[in-house]
Amino acid sequence: MRTTFDRLLAPLVLLLLFTTSGVGSPLRNTPIVRAVKRAKPAVVNIRGEKTITDDGLQAGHGQFGRRVNGMGTGVVIDPRGYIITNHHVVDGVQPIRVTLDDGRTLIGKLIARDTETDLAVIKVDPPDDMQVITIGASSDLMPGEPVVAVGNAYGYEHTATRGIISAVHRSVQVNDAQYYDDLIQTDASINPGNSGGPLLNIDGEMIGINVAVRAGAQGIGFAIPTNKVMKVVARLLASSTACNTWHGVALSAKAGACDEGLAVVAVERNSPAAAVGLKPGDMITSVDDIRTRRNLDFHLAMLQRKAGEKIEIAVRRADNPLTVQLTLAAAVKKRNEPTHPAWTLLGMKLKPIPADEFHKKHHTKYRGGLTVKAVRPGSPAADQGIRSGDVLVGMHIWETVSLDNVSYIISRPDFAAISPLKFFILRDKETLYGYLPVTVKTAQR
């Protein structure tokens, strides 16, 4: 039986509930709201123009096309202005316009890219430190757990959509040129312009990079898992820093974060790391007070360093902490580095294919070709999207059956007149072509 006191108290309770449900109420400040607030300052919008042909493909050198506007999203991973996005967002875009959360627009520069995973790193020069995204783990994702996608959907900046993880480890063929594997599937709305933006967990941590939608289907979007993103970006940045400095440390390729630090798996002989006594099995816990939980942390700490610069590395060895002062050396040419002009000039390590093997595998009009064994980051070949495993079958008007064919083309006295150099490659069952922007200055090196 309700007492008189209960009848008097009930309206007061209701009044209190209505009063506290206004602005600033804990009832409105849900985990999703907090997740978006936490990530939003580290999410940028990317816009630019590129030239495409009538069939929708990016125009090559000398091809006519029309200028179209592009849009996408990026995620800040370093306060100095390093940003992750999808390669297709910035491919062929000039200039790359990056709009920050506070409305400022900066011009970005492409630092490195990986066409196979469709990831790229760009750099802006902010007047002050930028807020960095909080990186979460993608190794323990659960179907059904809530997620939020943030991005420049259809040009509407910082759009947030919510959903769940529908599945993990999905493989998706987007078009003839792009295949993704091991993707996160979500029903959070991912639209054109979301590409390159973060997929967040309920704690506001990035657990994926939004990359694709299923054409004609609603509620089916995909993201690259964070662990894979971190592994690829760390490799890209390691290749970038290796062009200028040398430390001699090889780290474990484990992608996830480790509170104990980064495991040293090898130390090069006569390297700066060997000189200060670093050993396999050491755990690097920080570089110049920058905590290193992922490989990416270490390689970010090495960016913009110069030969002769001293860095302080904190190490844990058999549960004993120690600190070493390592002096970076200038990058040195490794003994086994390819020296053929195809590598030094174009950025491709090529290997001849025996005639019988070529014709058995490739049923084409070409007499033969050269397998691309490696592509140097930042080279003309890398810039044109050539991959390891491609088969080079021609350049300009000549076939490339042997390395001598390539040497002949590069050493011709009229080489400058045929640059940018048109190339033809076999990839799967298709013949693709493009143009290598090799300048006379580059050719004379």
pLDDT at 2: 53
Q: How far apart are CA 299 and CA 290, in angstroms?
A: 11
Give the residues across from 259 on adjacent strands.
Answer: none
Is the pLDDT at 300 greater than 60, yes or no?
Answer: yes
* Residue 63 vs residue 222, higher pLDDT: 222
Rounded-to-integer distance, Cα 313 and Cα 290, Å = 9
Instruction: Label residue 328 by pLDDT band (50, 70, 90).
Output: very high
Q: Which entry of 195, 271, 286, 379 is annotated as an active-site residue?
A: 195
- Does the pLDDT of residue 443 top 70, yes or no? no
Q: Which of 96-105, 170-179, 364-373, 381-390 has the lowest mean pLDDT?
A: 170-179
- Classify burial at 340, counting beta carbons within 10 Å of its beta carbon; exposed 0-12, middle 13-18, buried 19 or more: middle
Are the beta carbons of 293 and 284 closer than 8 angstroms?
A: no
Alpha helices in 246-309 (DSSP H): 272-275, 295-302
| Omega of the bond leading into 127 within 30 degrees of 0 (cis) | no
List beta partners, residue 96.
108
The pTM score is 0.69
pLDDT given at position 428: 78
**Region 127-148: what's the mean pLDDT?**
95
> What is the predicted pLDDT for the residue at 406?
87
Tokens of 182: 């091991």
Check whether 3 has a pLDDT greater than 60.
no
Among 78, 87, 88, 247, the active-site one is 88
Residue 297 pLDDT grade (very low, low, confident, very high; cuts 50, 70, 90): very high
Q: What is the DSSP letter of 192?
A: T
pLDDT tens sequence across 52-102: 555 444 544 444 445 667 899 999 999 999 999 999 899 888 889 999 999
Question: Annotated catalytic residue: which of 78, 87, 114, 118?
Answer: 118
- Percentage, residues of the chain above pLDDT 90: 41
Q: What is the pLDDT of residues 4-57, one digit of tens each?
A: 545 555 554 444 444 444 456 778 999 999 999 999 999 999 998 866 555 444
Active site residue 247: no
- Sign of the C-alpha dihedral computed for residues 84, 87, 88 and 90 taken in this order: positive
Note if 195 is an active site residue: yes
Domains and CATH numbers, the chain: 45-123 (2.40.10.120), 245-330 (2.30.42.10), 341-443 (2.30.42.10)
* Whether residue 158 has pLDDT greater than 60: yes
Region class of 441: left (phi > 0), else alpha (psi between -120 and 50), else beta: alpha
Token output for 50? 């590129």
Closest CA to 166 of 147, 139, 192: 147
Range 360-372 average pLDDT: 84
Distance CA 339, CA 316 (A): 39
At residue 201, what are phi and psi to the nearest 5 degrees? -85, 180
pLDDT in tens, 260-274: 889 988 888 889 999
pLDDT at 57: 45
Average pLDDT over residues 345-352: 87
Highest mean pLDDT among 19-28, 118-127, 358-367: 118-127
88 is catalytic: yes
